[in-house]
Structure 1
Amino acid sequence: CALGFDWHSSGTTTTTLGALKQACKPEEHGIAFAGGKGKASMRTKEEIGNFGDIFNLPSVKIESMRRASKLAAKVDNSCLQDGYQIYHHSFILTEKGEWAVVQQGMMAEKKYARRYHWLGLKTKSFIEEPHEAILCDKKEEKALDMTSRKSEEARKASIDLANDGIKRLNRIITGQRSLDEFTHPEIHFPERHGIHRVDISPAGWKALKIAGEIQPENYEELISISGLGAKTIRALALLSELLFGTEASWKDPVKYSFAHGGKDGIPYPVDTKTYDETIDVLKNALQEAKVGKGEKYKALERLKIFTDI
């Protein structure tokens, strides 16, 4: 099945996943789609439980999926600060207990969308380069990426700062050290000295207080604390570099979402060599497919339309 959309359409994600959620019957197809766009995403936890029961999955497996859903949303909204706000979250699960996440964020002022892909079978870590793909039309000049391998030391330092408790953070943030010492060329601060309390929300301070009490052992535990959002994660990253010299990655990890380019040169001109190679791969796949000759012939005829362009 292939769907065609205008090259910059955010509906590529929302419409396709919405249609699949409506069309797929868990009992019949062995796959289910939880969550969705806007308010539908708020029902993800409940729907994972419902579908898990239909598939007779163990309660431990269902809870691990709920945790994966929550962490994927937290990471893409807070640990990867690229300017795109998540508004669509789909959690896909199978009767075998496999899962994937497809979510989409929007940069409202530029009206650009960005899609994030997670694949459970390949997710070895939720906080270090966990994505199967991040796709967008545009690569940002800078984006705080706390999931990058290059941010490992910054993550460790953030844990240490959080575990030290809010009293020490208060002393640092209220001006004992100046950000004049902090000279990262890609970061622009407000026209003032130091990081003041305004940079961390009240919920963030509450979360940091909890962190000081429970002493998270790793970064995943730290970001799982309720109320610890993007501002607090960013503040900890900046303070970590200021105090310990541990630099976080500011490189946007996105990849273009177009395999062959566009006829109008957007986002780049059509790559005819790759285009032809893709057709050859599809043709070989059809030749090897275990389907009837009639179906195979019809599929090859449909593919021929593209080869004759």
Structure 2
Amino acid sequence: MRTGYATLPLHGGRAPAWLFRRMVRLARALALHVLEAHGRDGLLRRLSDPFWFQALGCVLGFDWHSSGLTTTTTGALKEALRGLERETGLCVAGGKGAAGRRTPAELEAACAAWGTDAGALVRASRLAAKVDSAAVQDGYQIYHHAFVAAREGRWCVIQQGMSDATGLARRYHWLGEGLASFVREPHAAVCCDARGETLNLVAEESARAQAALLAVAREPDRETGRLLQRLPELTLPRRHAVTAADLDPRRLRRVLLSTWEWAPADFESLLLTPGLGAKALRALALVAELVHGTPASTRDPARFSFAHGGKDGTPYPVDRAVYDHTVAVLEDGLRRAPLERRERDAALRRLARFVAA
């Protein structure tokens, strides 16, 4: 399931080398403690919780309310567990920019060391990225993709997108455990301080739109052909932010030729069509709506305000017990970790400041 979103202000800086080294040491101590106390599944569940992840980043020492927390925290965790894949049964793959594109190769290397097949993990990585970059078009461009895999095949994803228009970044959390479908309400909670109109092809109410889009993309038909010729003359729904170039009949025909050749069996397979990006998918959704009369949802999946964990901006956590348990796990990890007293006390103070914010 996708377990949450978090929206943060964009921050162009990076952690100083001395701070990052401390973050790596502290991340290793905390991760190993959680693994010992709660197992691999326990760590995956916690990393997929936006509040726990934010608290972890704060404890490690990064600015708790900037987008850099995501990339720096996952980077520290990746470095902390590097070389311990056999011992821990965990691999942290991917990262920011080009590092994210190396995720499949890194997963394959880890699975080779474990003697397992990487196919399902690589597919999960690609689908999670494609859903948040193309099937949910919320104005945030994905630039960070981290995939945490366990030897048994379970996983979580932490990825982040940026919006140049708003100056915000939005973080997306996924958890493989309990995931029924990548394309039907895959998230359990969405935490975000800013909401807006969104093309949401994975909303429950987009089921008919998915079927229509798949029908258009799977095989040629006369009505679609006629529509392509008439596109320049049509008055289009205002909610579809597509340009004239996106609706060029020749360009759309090339997109359709690629999907017809790919012959996707279902909507998940359609998302994995080579070369099918966000603009092409939006244009196809419009064609499917015009042919079949099935508009996709424009509901932003964000439901929770991240800053205080409350619903619709209410400034307190929805579940106080979960909140307290999150803090307790980190406090326990810090007290038990093999750290110098000064470093431990500083981390505990950072956690206290985060909780009080």
Give TM-score scaled by structure 1 length: 0.77
Distance in 1 between the 2:252 and 2:223 partners?
Answer: 15
1:244 to 275, 292, 303: 292
Cα distance in 2 for residues equivalent to 1:308 and 1:240? 49
Residue 258 in structure 1 maps to residue 284 in structure 2: no
Question: Residues 181-230 of structure 1, C-alpha deviation per residue, up to 9 Å, x if partnerless?
Answer: x556x44666xxxxx66436977643421322453231112221101111
Structure-2 residue corresponding to 1:216: 264
User: What is the Cα deviation at residue 106 of structure 1?
Assistant: 0.4
Distance 1:20 1:164, change over 3 A: same
> Given the superposition, is the C-alpha separation of residues 3 and 216 from structure 1 closer, same or farther in structure 2, using an over 3 Å criterion?
closer
Q: CA–CA distance in 2 between the matches of 1:132 and 1:308?
A: 26
Letter aligned with residue 258 of structure 1: A
* 1:136-215 to 2 correspondences below 5 Å: 136-140=192-196, 142-165=197-220, 169-175=224-230, 179-180=234-235, 183=237, 186-187=239-240, 198-199=246-247, 205-215=253-263
How far did 1:117 drift?
1.3
How big is the shift at 1:284? Answer: 7.8
1:109 counterpart residue number: 165
Letter of the structure 1 residue corresponding to residue 80 of structure 2: A
Whole-angstrom distance in 2 between the partners of 1:16 and 1:41 = 15
Asked if 1:46 is matched to 2:46, the reply is no
Q: Gapped runs of 5+ residues in structure 2?
A: 1-29, 31-55, 337-343
How many residues end up aligned between the 2 structures? Answer: 285
8 Å Cα contact 2:161-2:170 kept in structure 1: yes
Amino acid aligned to 1:117: H
The CA distance in 1 between the partners of 2:314 and 2:88, in whole Å, is 39
Q: Which amino acid aligns with 1:15?
A: T
Report the identity percentage.
Answer: 36
- Identify the residue that residue 121 of structure 2 maps to in structure 1: 65
Encode CA deviations 1:87-106: one digit per residue, 9 max, x unaligned: 00011101222111111000
Q: Is the 8 A contact 1:106 1:113 kept in 2?
A: yes
How far the C-alpha of 1:159 sits from its partner, in A, is 1.2
Q: Distance in 2 between matches of 1:82 and 1:50?
A: 33
The amino acid of 1:235's aligned partner reads A
Q: Say whether the 8 Å CA contact 1:144–1:251 is kept in structure 2.
A: yes
How far apart, in 1, do the equivalents of 2:67 and 2:331 lie?
34
Q: Secondary structure at the match of 1:109?
A: coil
Taking CA–CA contacts closer than 8 Å with sequence separation of 6 or more, which of the two structures ends up with the larger relative contact order?
A: 2
For 2:190 and 2:242, locate their aligned partners in 1 and report how far apart those are by CA, in whole Å: 28
Shift of 1:40: 0.5
Equivalent position of 1:15 in the other structure: 72
Deviation at 1:269, TM superposition (A): 7.5
- What CA RMSD, in Å, does the superposition of the two structures yield over aligned residues? 3.7
Q: Which amino acid aligns with 1:241?
A: E
Give the match's secondary structure for 1:64.
Answer: helix
Deviations 1:240-294 (A, max 9, x none): 2223221211010023323357xxxxx95743x86976675568879999x98xx
How many Å separate the matches in 1 of 2:249 and 2:120? 29
The amino acid of 2:298's aligned partner reads: W
Query: Do the aligned partners of residues 178 and 123 (structure 1) sit closer, same or farther apart at CA in structure 2, a change above 3 Å counting?
Result: farther
Q: Flag the structure with larger Rg.
A: 1
* Aligned partners of 2:78 and 2:92 also within 8 Å: yes
- Secondary structure (helix, strand or coil) at the match of 2:144 reads strand
Instruction: Name which of 276, 281, 299 aligns with 1:228.
Output: 276
Q: Is the 8 A contact 1:158 1:236 kept in 2?
A: yes
Alignment-mate amino acid for residue 222 of structure 1: L
Query: How far is 1:111 from its partner?
Result: 1.8
Secondary structure at the aligned position of 2:76 is classed as helix
Structure 1: where are the runs of 5+ without partners? 191-195, 262-266, 293-297
CA distance in 2, matches of 1:200, 1:75: 25
Structure 1 residues 114 and 202: CA distance shift in structure 2, 3 A: farther
Distance 1:146 1:46, change over 3 A: same
> For residues 145 and 163 of structure 1, do their structure 2 counterparts lie closer, same or farther at Cα, with a shift above 3 Å needed?
same
Q: 1:3 aligns with which of 51, 57, 69?
A: 57
